[in-house]
Amino acid sequence: MNTNQKFAALAIGLQFAIVLIFGLCGEYSGILDAKNDTAGLEGAGTRYAFYQDIHVMMFIGFGYLMTFLKKYTYGAVGFNFMVAAFAIQWTILCTGFWHCVHTGDWSRIETDEVYLINADFGAAAVLITFGGVLGKVNSFQLLTIAVIEIFFYTLNVMIAIEEFGAADIGGSMVIHTFGAYFGLACAWMLGPKEAQGHKNNTTNKTSDTFAMIG
């Protein structure tokens, strides 16, 4: 199989597995059940507004930010949309899994607006990594990186936040630092030193303008 066929097979297989796992192990949070009164929804509107803002940053902010290399200006936007959409779903499942491991309570994963916000944070870590490997990886490799990184990202969050109780304002440790070092490690393994001065490792007016939007 060529790269595109490998990517299609991996993407379809992963999406099918995610839908199956959500059906077997997930459910909506009780406070979002339409049969309940509205008392439990206090604050949900505010959190959902936060989620909308963060969601725009994942797809529009990061999407245009990743156009900084002139050769990958437009392809980077599509890659960004693809990996963010997958990472959000995978983060919800991995977060729920590690929470069950930590608490010992193997109940169903209850998805609410807080889970959605944290899922966007997981996607942010992957997109930060994406900035370090842009131009070095194809779609199949990028999706593989996302699968592996999210698994360890959510483990790191569980240890740092839930176990140690670290106060990580703005996700500077578990999101930005983790994503940056993961990206550096991937770039080091995937790209030779000659890539630093490669002719495609440059910008132009168009790519810089689009990146400024992000």
pLDDT of 155 reads 94
pLDDT at 40: 54
Residue whose structure tokens are 């729920």: 96
pLDDT at position 152 = 95
pTM: 0.85
CA distance linking residue 50 with residue 192, whole number of Å: 40
Greatest extent of the chain over all pairs of C-alpha atoms, in Å: 62
Torsion angles phi and psi, residue 166, rounded to 5: -70, 140
Q: Note down pLDDT in tens along the chain; length 214 residues.
A: 788 889 899 999 999 999 999 989 888 776 655 565 555 556 666 777 888 888 888 888 888 888 777 767 778 888 889 999 999 999 999 999 998 888 888 888 888 888 889 999 999 999 999 988 887 888 899 999 999 999 999 999 999 988 888 877 777 899 999 999 999 999 888 876 666 666 666 666 666 676 677 6
Q: Are 135 and 72 in contact (CB under 8 A)?
A: yes
pLDDT, residue 91, reads 94
- The confidence score (pLDDT) of residue 151 equals 95
Distance CA 33, CA 119 (A): 21
